Amino acid sequence: MNLPLRARLTAWYFGVLLVSFASLAWISDYGFRRSIETTVNDASRANLESIQRVLLATAPKGMDEVKDELDELAGLWAGGALLEVVDAQGNMVFQSPPFQHPYPYNALPPAEGAAVHFFTTNLDDVQYRIAMRTIEAAGQKFYVRAAVSTEPLDQALDRFRLILKLTLPLLVVLASLGGYWLSRRALAPVDEIIRTARDIGVQNLSGRLSVPGPQDELRRLTETLNDMLARIEASFKRITQFTADASHDLRTPVALIRTSAELALRRSRTEEEYREALSRILGTSEETTHLIENLLTLARADAGASGLELRRVDLLPPLKKAAEQASVLATAKGIQISNGHEEHPTWILADSAALERLFLLVLENAVKYTPEGGRIEIQVRNGQGTANVDIHDTGIGISEKDLPHIFERFYRADQARSREPGGSGLGLAIALWIVEMHGGAIQAQSAAGSGSIFHISLPVSPNA
C-alpha cells in the first residue's frame, strides 16, 4: 500500500480507535444491562420478602386478613409493582389487576421450594421482571409472584444506546482528524531531515542535519545520520587524499622510466650506457611494483578483504626472519641489530606471513632513519594477556608535530625524514592495519634527535 507514512499512521489510529470505542460501547451496554437486571431482581426479591412477612403475620388470622394486608401492601408499592398469591389448592388469594388477564406466563407451573425463580414477560404492553417462590405460613403453602416494571430502566438503556450511536462515530472521526494533525506535526522534523539530506552532496559533505531539541527518537535518528555523514566525509577525504597521493607517487617513477627510455633511444649508445639505463629502469620498476603492492594491500584492507589466516603460532620465528632480512639493509649502513628476547615460545593467534611483514616494515623504517653506525634493539616482553615487541633505534627521531600522524597514509614528515630515499609513506599504515587485524595495538615513542621506540602489543593465544 503506497500511502504516505502519516496516512498509514492515521489509518492505524482510526482502526485502533474504532475497535476501542466499539469495545467500550459493548462493555458499557453489557454493564448497563447487567445493572438493570440486578436492580430489578433485587427489587423483586425484596417484594417477595415483604409478601412473606405479611403472610407470616396474617395467615394465622384468616384469609380475609391476608387479603386486606396484601391489598394495602400493593397500594403502598411504588413504580407499579404487582403481586399475586395462590394457595396450595389453586385458589387465588390476591391478584393485582394486570395479573387477571390470561397472559402466557399463567400457563407456567408454580415455583416449588424456597428458591427464587425469575423470568420476564409483558403485562398490559409493559415489560415486567417477575420473581416466583413458595412460602409456608401458618402450616399453609402459598405460591407467590412479585413483578417489577423494567420500562423506566429500558428507556434509560435505549437513550444510552442512542447517545452511543450518535457520539461514537463523531468522536472517532474527530480523533482521527486530530491524529492526522498530530502525525503531520510529529513528522515535520522528518520532512526537514529529507530536505536537508537532499542538499548534501559530494560538493558539501560538511553539511549536517539540524538536531531537534527533544530527547526523542528523531533526535537519535538525526544524531546517527550526522555521525554517518561525518564518517562518509572522512572516508571520502581519505579516498580523495589517497587517490591524489597515489597518483603523485606513481607519476614520478613512471616519468623517470619514460625519461630514461627516451634518453636511451635518442641516439646510439654503448652497451655499458644501455645497461646503465636499463638498470635505472629496472630499479624504478621494482620500487613502483612495491608501491603498487602496498596500494593493493591497503585497498583490500579498506574493502574488508584481509586475506589473513589466523592460527596459533609462535611469535619468535617471524620476528627472527624479519630481523635477518632487515640485517641485510642494516649491514650496508653499518647498523647493528640486536635481539634481546628469550628463546621460549610466545604463542599468539596470528597469520605468520603477516607478522613477518609487520616486523619487517617497522625494522626497515628504523634502518632507513638511523644514521650509519647506529643501533637497533629488539625486545620481547610478556604482559597481562599480551605479547609485547619493542623496536628501539638510535635514529633521527620524530618531531612532536609529526608523531600523531606517522601511521597515516602518504603522510610527509619534516624535511629531515622526507629527504630519506625509497619511502612511499605506506609502510607504517600497512603495519597499523596488520596489528589491528590481529586485535593488537602499535604506538610510537620518539623525539627529534633522540631515536624512536615502536611498541607492538598482540593478544596471546587462548590456548597458550
Q: Residue 140: enclosing H or E segment and its boundaries?
A: strand 140-149
Residue 164 lies in a domain: no
Q: Looking at the DSSP assignment, which residues form a beta bridge with residue 117?
A: 132
> Distance (Å, rounded) from C-alpha 212 to C-alpha 194?
14
Indicate whether 114 and 249 sit together in one domain: no
**Within a 10 A sphere around the Cβ of 41, how many other Cβ atoms?**
15
62 shares its domain with 110: yes
Q: Which three cell numbers stand for residue 455?
A: 611498541
- Check which CATH number belongs to the domain holding 58 and give it: 3.30.450
**Quick check: is 171 in a domain?**
no
Residue 289 lies in a domain: yes
For helices 352-368 and 316-332, angle between their N-to-C axes, nearest 10 degrees: 30
Helix axes 151-186, 5-58, angle to 10 degrees: 160
Query: What is the structure's pLDDT at 79?
Result: 58
| Residues 90, 71: Cα–Cα separation, whole Å | 19
Alpha carbon separation from 119 to 92, 129, 136 (Å, rounded): 21, 6, 22
**CATH code at position 421:** 3.30.565.10
Name the residue with cell 638511523.
370
Rounded-to-integer distance, Cα 422 and Cα 364, Å: 11
Alpha-carbon distances, residue 265 vs 128, 216, 257, 261, 270 (angstroms): 126, 73, 12, 6, 12
Both 454 and 367 in a single domain? yes
Residue where a domain stops, chosen among 157, 179, 203 = 157
Query: Is 125 within 8 Å of 150 (Cβ atoms)?
Result: no
Same-domain status, 270 and 317: no
Asked whether residue 146 is assigned to any structural domain, the reply reads yes
Residue at 337 is within a domain: yes
The phi and psi torsions of 142 (rounded to 5 degrees) equal: -125, 135
pLDDT of residue 125: 74
Question: Could you tell me if 293 and 373 lie in one domain?
Answer: no
Residue 201 lies in a domain: no
Output the CA–CA distances (angstroms, integers) from residue 82 to 74, 147, 311, in the order listed: 7, 5, 99
One domain, residues 317 and 453: yes
State how far the Cα of 434 lies from the Cα of 441, in Å rounded to an integer.
10
Q: How far is residue 22's CA from residue 322's CA, in Å, rounded to a whole number? A: 80
φ and ψ at residue 454, rounded to 5 degrees: -105, 120
Domain shared by 284 and 378, yes or no: no
pTM: 0.50
Both 346 and 448 in a single domain? yes
Q: What dihedral angle (degrees, nearest 10) is formed by the CA atoms of 263, 265, 270, 274?
A: 70
Residue ranges making up the domain that contains 237: 217-302
Statement to judge: residues 402 and 439 lie in one domain: yes
Q: Is residue 285 part of a domain?
A: yes
Question: Which of 285, 302, 319 lies at the terminal end of a domain, its last residue?
Answer: 302
Considering the domain architecture, whether residues 40 and 147 belong to the same structural domain is answered as yes
Are 143 and 222 part of one and the same domain? no
3-class DSSP state of 89 = coil
Q: Does residue 221 share a domain with residue 123?
A: no
What are the pLDDT tens digits along the chain (464 aa)?
566 666 777 788 788 888 888 888 889 888 888 888 888 888 888 888 888 888 888 888 888 888 888 888 877 765 567 888 888 887 888 888 766 654 444 444 555 666 888 888 777 777 888 888 888 888 888 888 888 888 888 888 888 888 888 888 888 888 888 877 877 777 777 777 777 777 777 666 667 767 766 666 777 777 887 888 787 777 777 777 667 766 766 776 788 788 888 888 888 888 888 888 888 888 888 777 877 777 777 676 666 656 678 888 888 899 998 888 888 888 888 888 887 666 678 888 888 888 888 898 899 889 988 998 889 999 988 878 888 999 999 989 888 888 888 888 777 664 444 444 455 677 888 888 889 888 899 999 988 888 899 999 999 877 64
pLDDT at 423: 56
- Least Cα distance to 436 among 418, 464, 456 occurs for 456
Look at residues 281, 302, 323 and tell me which one is the last residue of a structural domain: 302
φ/ψ region of 59 (left if φ > 0, alpha if ψ in -120 to 50, else beta) reads alpha
Q: Chain centroid to CA 37: how far?
A: 52
Q: How many domains does the chain have?
A: 3
Neighbours of 147 (CB within 10 A): 28
Q: How far apart are CA 197 and CA 195, in angstroms?
A: 6
What is the largest distance, in Å, between two alpha-carbon atoms of the chain?
160
Q: Which three cell numbers stand for residue 263?
A: 634518453
Give residue 113's pLDDT: 64
> Does residue 48 lie in a domain region?
yes
Residue 92 DSSP code: E
